[in-house]
Amino acid sequence: MSQSRQDTVTYPFRLAALLATASVGLLQTAAAQTTTHSVSVMRDLQRPSAPGMMPRKPMAQRIPVEPGFPAPTLHSGTAHDPYENYTARWTRADARQIKGMSNPNVTPGTNSMPASLTMPAIPANFPVMNPYVWVWDTWPLTDAHGNQYSYNGWDVIFCLTARKDAGYTFDDRHVHARIGFFYRRSGIPASKRPVGGGWVYGGNVFPDGQSDAIYAGTPHNLHAEWSGSTRVASIGKDQINIFYTSLAFNHDVNGANITAPVATIVIAKGSIHADLDHVWFGTFQPHVPLLVPDGTFYQTGAQNQYFSFRDPYTFEDPANPGKTFMVFEGNSAGVRGDTPCNASDLGYRPNDPYAESVDQVNTSGAIFQRANIGLAVAEKPDLTKWKFLPPLISGNCVNDQTERPQMYIKDSRYYLLTISHRTTFAAGIDGPDGEYGFYGKGIRSDWVPLNNNSGLMLGNPTDLNTAAGTDFDPNPQQNPNAFQTYSHYLMPGGKVESFIDTIQGLRGGTLAPTVQVSLNGPNTFLNYAYGQSGLGAYANITPNKANIDFPGFLLDVQYAEEHPYTPDAATAALLYGINSRNSKASTTAEIEQKATDFLIGHGL
């Protein structure tokens, strides 16, 4: 994969020196002059070279040791009204604590970060869960409180997928992404499953063309389905709601934008079905567009052709009963490169000797990074109409991507989680690929960044003293597992699933081993007693609840193409199928118990 295109831009030399000081190793400093010199800088600095791809970040091969680090911004965690015009900040003072935790004296190419916040290294001989499609962002079937459900005896997961045989590369997959699904029988312990998790690929969730229908009349030549979340609409029934991001791209023959991409958060209402042998989905209603960026809170394509607006995650808050909320990835509104940061974005305490000035930051190129995590609230009970609220948190001049945000509520403690890349951090900020998070006392809080006020929850093994490289072009002097996993998702019980990106130069596109973290207020740590030295089974995404729809199961056995039975024969076939997996039942009570065990995932 070729490098991001660069342009030669003429700058006054003093400005070039400022860029060099704030973007470590990007430019060489020299004596101040008033003459003009040509300095090669990346257009829009760390812009991605293609949709979904990791951008390059200009860095010295060996990054100089910093003389010291600032104190983090003071955050209280205090809850605010969800509707209040208040947005917390992940400041530069906070994010610089990440580098402050890094050991500058490790052997080059090893891990410089604390072991308690580092995912163990995954071996390069990882299993591949499916030979036909690449798999990345993945989520389970959940309710409004984050509980994960099986359906009538089957575990089900939803994944972004792309075909391996379609003529494009792993790094080009994003503009071809479809939401696929996998299923497996519930209740099988990890020790009895195939090493890759035992998941069966069910195909695409939506029929061809259905998700693209919302863009009728919009100029585009590529369409993709990007991440979201899937909710059980009603326990004991088969109705589901899929929230996802629909993308329309209008590219020339070289892959450049003719017009900016169009991103829309969408709901698709449908039904899930299962019989004795497999899982499938019924007809989905026409997909309903819910939200597009407004340019007031959330950056638009007109303001920035590389804007982020995606990854809806819906939930209910016990403190606000009767309301359904959504978090999503956004960028702070404003024209890219023309919107400076201010002292609040930097967050330094008065007279901190390691503070930067606002001018230093704004001339470093950091103004191109303007991530935020957005909030919306449903205005109709059927969840087909939503209203923007102010962002929950911004990372202006800190990072450009806060992907796949998630609200995790446990025992009246609120965790706002997200994922991000090392190469999307702004100039002067550094941190590993991984999961980041914030702790508060309500869904809108003065969020406290996790772990030493840094925000880092779980990173890949990374040497922050050595240049990053990228997943598609790794730096041979960097830790070979620095891009091993991405797209982390926190599940009940502190389990974290993700997908394999690049390990020792080998591309993944398959699910990673599950790990477990412990959360204690603003502090977390990896449980190395889980699995084998902290690595659990591959693709170990296990429901903590069961959705049993017995009438629906009888109908699915009756009417599925594989089982064209009459109603009486359907019941007989169901009981025969259940009993063929168990000892024969002789009484009605035993038959009912066998059926219940099958639907829950027991009695195999």
Segments making up each domain of the chain, as ranges: 6-42, 79-104+123-546, 565-600
Residue 27 confidence class, pLDDT cut points 50, 70, 90? very low
**pLDDT attached to residue 245:** 98
547-565 average pLDDT score: 72
Long-range contacts for 209-218 (Cβ within 8 Å, ≥24 apart)? 210/268, 210/284, 210/286, 210/287, 211/244, 211/246, 211/266, 211/268, 211/287, 212/246, 212/248, 213/286, 213/287, 214/246, 214/264, 214/266, 214/287, 214/289, 215/246, 215/248, 215/262, 218/248, 218/262
Of 51 and 457, the one with more pLDDT: 457
Residue 25 confidence class, pLDDT cut points 50, 70, 90? very low
Residue 23 confidence class, pLDDT cut points 50, 70, 90? very low
Alpha-carbon distances of 94 from 115, 401, 470, rounded to whole Å: 20, 16, 24
Question: For residue range 299-358, what is the model confidence (pLDDT) as tens digits?
Answer: 999 999 999 999 999 999 999 999 999 999 999 999 999 999 999 999 999 999 999 999
| Other beta carbons within 10 Å of 354 | 14
Question: Going by DSSP bridges, is the β-strand pair 88-89/386-396 parallel, antiparallel, or unpaired?
Answer: parallel
Burial 50-80 (b: 16+ CB within 10 A, else e): bbbbbbbbbbeeebeeeeeebbbbebebebb
Nearest to 420 by CA among 95, 163, 203: 95
Residue 555 confidence class, pLDDT cut points 50, 70, 90? confident
Backbone angles phi, psi at 543, to 5 degrees: -65, 150
Highest mean predicted confidence (pLDDT) among 3-7, 392-396, 596-600: 392-396
The one-character DSSP state at 369 is -
End-to-end CA distance of the chain: 48
Residue 580 clears pLDDT 70, i.e. is over it = no
Active site residue 294: no
Which residues make Cβ contacts (< 8 Å) with residue 388, sequence separation at least 6?
291, 294, 296, 297, 298, 374, 375, 376
| Superfamily for the 79-104+123-546 domain | Glycosyl hydrolase domain; family 43 (2.115.10.20)
**pLDDT attached to residue 590:** 67
**pLDDT attached to residue 570:** 52
Question: For residue range 420-471, what is the model confidence (pLDDT) as tens digits?
Answer: 999 999 999 999 999 999 999 999 999 999 999 999 999 999 999 999 999 9
Question: Can you tell me the distance from the alpha carbon of 513 to that of 271, in angstroms, rounded to the nearest whole number?
Answer: 30
**pLDDT attached to residue 601:** 75
The one-character DSSP state at 209 is T
**pLDDT attached to residue 19:** 34
Which residues make Cβ contacts (< 8 Å) with residue 473, sequence separation at least 6?
1, 3, 56
* Mean per-residue pLDDT of the chain: 89
Alpha-carbon distances of 360 from 56, 346, 383, 435, 595, rounded to whole Å: 22, 11, 45, 28, 68
Question: For residue range 88-147, what is the model confidence (pLDDT) as tens digits?
Answer: 999 999 999 999 999 999 999 999 999 999 999 999 999 999 999 999 999 999 999 999
Residue 587 confidence class, pLDDT cut points 50, 70, 90? low
225-235 average pLDDT score: 97
What the block records as the tokens of 540 is 């170990």
Residue 50 confidence class, pLDDT cut points 50, 70, 90? confident
What the block records as the tokens of 153 is 């005896």
How many residues are present in the chain? 604
Active-site annotation holder among 94, 275, 356, 403? 403
Question: Can you tell me the distance from the alpha carbon of 574 to that of 594, in angstroms, rounded to the nearest whole number?
Answer: 11
Residue 553 clears pLDDT 90, i.e. is over it = no
Active-site annotation holder among 137, 238, 317, 430? 137
152-175 average pLDDT score: 97
Question: For residue range 57-89, what is the model confidence (pLDDT) as tens digits?
Answer: 999 999 999 999 999 999 999 999 999 999 999
Active site residue 66: no
What the block records as the tokens of 197 is 């998790």
Question: Can you tell me the distance from the alpha carbon of 437 to that of 440, in angstroms, rounded to the nearest whole number?
Answer: 10
**pLDDT attached to residue 343:** 98
CA 2 to chain centre: 25
**pLDDT attached to residue 313:** 98
